[in-house]
A and B are shown apart, each in its own frame.
Chain A
Amino acid sequence: MLRYTIRRLLYSIPILFGVLLITYSLFFGVTPPEIIARRNLSTRDPKPAQIEQWLADHGYGEPKTEEMEKDAFGRFLLSAGIKPKVKSVNPAEPPNPAEPATAPPAPDFRPSAAARLMQLKRNTVDVMLFQFGKSDSTKEDIWERLKKGAVPSFLIQAIIFGTGLFTALMLAVLVAYFRGTYIDSLATIVCVLMMSVVYMVYIIGLQYGMGRVAQYGPVWGFDPENGIGKFLLIPVVIGVIAGVGAEIRLYRTFLLDETGQDYVRTARAKGVPEGRILLGHVLKNALIPVITQTVSAIPVLILGGLLLENFFGIPGLGSYLNDAINSQDFAVVRAMVFLGALLTIVGQIMTDLLYAVVDPRIRLE
């Protein structure tokens, strides 16, 4: 078990490295920074100084020599003779009215080798060490904000995940009990109907129905000192209902795959009642494919968090990401992508280990 765990952890290193390579090339290789700046600046024809400012604010600017000297890798670069460019635009220089005909040469916004290497270092080594730096828009330390936001987000999503899993499994057992009857077909149709509704509509509808009309809980804010339960109730109900349709359908097929097995026939021949067969025998074995599914729930939970926190004004990671999208905060998005990937990879490792615990047929060595 220990050997397998270590091997599994080692396998995930190249994956994590690949993720970092993707994020680096995505943010620094796909589109020239100048074009991103021009697109995101609200003015139609931005001045070079504005572009320079945007680039500096969003992590694309030239590093200063003093900054590089504070950093071990930066010192190494400087000693190797790789130096940052000096500022290409000087906004302090007054325009010369004597020669208005000659336009100034178009400034070159292409980053120097030093800038690229420092960006690469920031986006691999620093990120791996959880040093995400400062937010582009608020200049707040990203890691501090992430730590603050993680608590409500994790709380909500963990409860949604647990409650959702339990509800879906129990309902799936119920549907499997009535397999082949009208109840089964009706349930299938209801599940498809539920799957066809977009997440936002569940939020808007239930927030309105449960929050405004029925007053089951507040529709805005998060104040743990005032009783967490009442702030969590409506978001959790929404999260569970939004995901339960697809889950029931999936778990039903897992359960039905098992009901055809020999051991079920044996149990039935021995006179075990159908309900006990499903709950005692089939459910245990059907849990193995269910476990695989749990990792693929992570993206859904992230999206759910993003939307729920946005609608309910919960100061978690989702609303942080939402703010980052709206203010084009590249640093925060980069940190989030890394954390999301890390979470998924850890989830996959846990799944593989959990397999060995639930299924004695699987030998890890």
Chain B
Amino acid sequence: MPNETPNFFQSDLFQNAVPVVVLAGLVWALVAAGRTPLWSEAYRRLLRRPLAVFALVVIGLYGTVALLDSFGATDPKSQTRKTVLDRLFERPKERTYSAPMADMTFGEPEPQKLKEPGTHLLGTDGVGNDILYRTLKGVKTALTIGGATSLMVTPIALLLGMMAGYYGKTIDDIIQYVYTVLSSIPGILLQIALVLVLGKGLPQICIALGITRWVGLCRLTRGETLKHRDREYVRGAKALGVSDFRLLTRHILPNLLPVVIISVTLGFSGLVLSESTLTYLGIGVDADTGSWGNMIDAARDELARDPIIWWNLTSATSALFLLVLAFNLLGDALRDAIDPRLRS
């Protein structure tokens, strides 16, 4: 029998608290970083670049949409959770496809008048959902998968990479062996296998992406730690009797962070792309969870029709493209802003 009683993780309280905590953590990290000379300098450099500002604005907008899609309450009538975004787009379903801003349905032998003519900015899909709404629904899925996977992967990769680079010898051998084995399996194949075994769903995809993604970051951290291990400041601190833990967290870690943050930012765009690819392949999120991969999947048949239906595909890919572009641009700008080697 399916269990109908909602558990704590599905409660409104928890679902509304998560975005608040995430947002607070992000703001705190940005403010705390801004106090250090390296990052305040980096912020100034970032804000001087128009492309970086554009990227930040885009990411901010997507973040706002995701927040609107996170806060909500359970509707007493239907017993389903409705977010602010759901409330904003609450409107009757149309019959079927309709072109952007159209008054009539599309592709039927006898086009019918729409219930709300001329108001669907991006048209409607096959079951009459507003495309703009479907596109905005994809934002939260993409950001959640990118964010959760990055949050999961970064500490593990940092810890293992720093340990391998700092201690060397057996620890290094073991960690290197583990990631060499994992990286020998092509990522997409491992993800397919993981999702088949773990099942579909957001957390499962995060785990599948995380397991294939930490290797690159771990390798990078290990290499950077190796470089720093024999530097004079580390030897000096060691000579003064600083413990290994303190040396790693207080001295080496801050020096690794710039490289790691650039890599995580650039990796984020890869995660967003992977999410929609996996969903397209049928091993991503469910069909009823908003995802651009699902919309692109639907577009295959729509392009085979005559006349073609282009608005579904165009909306999903534009939204995906803009988000990925923003993270790519931000990553490049960050690299220019904080990599000391590139500074004149």
Contacts and interface: CB of A to CB of B under 8 A. Distances in A.
A27 B320 contact: no
Interface string A329-365: 0100110110011011100100000000000000000
Contact of B197 (A26, A199, A311): A26
Contacts of B181: 15, 18-19, 22
Interface of A: 14-16, 18-19, 22-23, 26-27, 30-31, 36, 39, 44-45, 192-193, 195-201, 204, 208, 298-299, 302-303, 306-307, 310-311, 321-322, 325-326, 328, 330, 333-334, 336-337, 340-341, 343-345, 348
Given A18-B180, A192-B325, A204-B313, 18 more contacts: A18-B178, A18-B181, A18-B184, A19-B184, A30-B198, A36-B197, A195-B324, A196-B269, A196-B328, A198-B324, A199-B277, A201-B296, A204-B296, A204-B299, A334-B193, A336-B189, A337-B193, A341-B185
Interface string B273-285: 1001100111100
Contacts of B193: 23, 26-27, 333-334, 337
A344 B182 CA distance: 11
B240 interface: no
A208 B196 CA distance: 32
A328 B196 contact: yes
Contacts of A336: 189, 192
A333 B192 contact: yes
B56 interface: no
Contact of A22 (B182, B192, B280, B320): B182
B329 interface: yes
Most A CB contacts (10 A, CB to CB) among B183, B189, B277 go to B189
A307 B278 CA distance: 11
A contacts with B: majority SS? helix
Contact of B185 (A199, A307, A326, A340): A340
A344 B185 contact: yes
B6 interface: no
23 contacts: A15-B180, A15-B184, A27-B197, A31-B199, A39-B199, A44-B2, A196-B269, A197-B321, A199-B277, A201-B317, A299-B187, A302-B188, A303-B188, A306-B281, A310-B281, A326-B282, A333-B196, A337-B190, A337-B193, A341-B184, A343-B186, A344-B183, A348-B184
Nearest to B329: A192
Contacts of B300: 204, 311
Interface of B: 1-2, 177-178, 180-190, 192-194, 196-199, 269, 273, 276-277, 280-283, 296, 299-300, 303, 308, 313, 317, 320-321, 324-325, 328-329, 332
Contacts of A31: 197-199
B281 A325 contact: yes
Contact of A302 (B183, B186, B320): B186
Given A337-B189, A345-B184, A45 B1 contact: yes
Given A30-B197, A196-B324, A204-B300, A298 B329 contact: no
B197 A200 contact: no
Contact of A196 (B177, B189, B194, B321): B321
A150 B40 CA distance: 54
B222 to A, nearest CB: 17
Nearest to B51: A189
A307 B297 CA distance: 12
B186 A340 contact: yes
Contacts of B328: 192, 195-196
Contacts of B299: 204
Contacts of B277: 198-200, 303, 307
Given A298-B186, A303-B277, A345-B184, A14 B177 contact: yes
A230 to B, nearest CB: 20
A143 B228 CA distance: 49
A328 B200 CA distance: 12
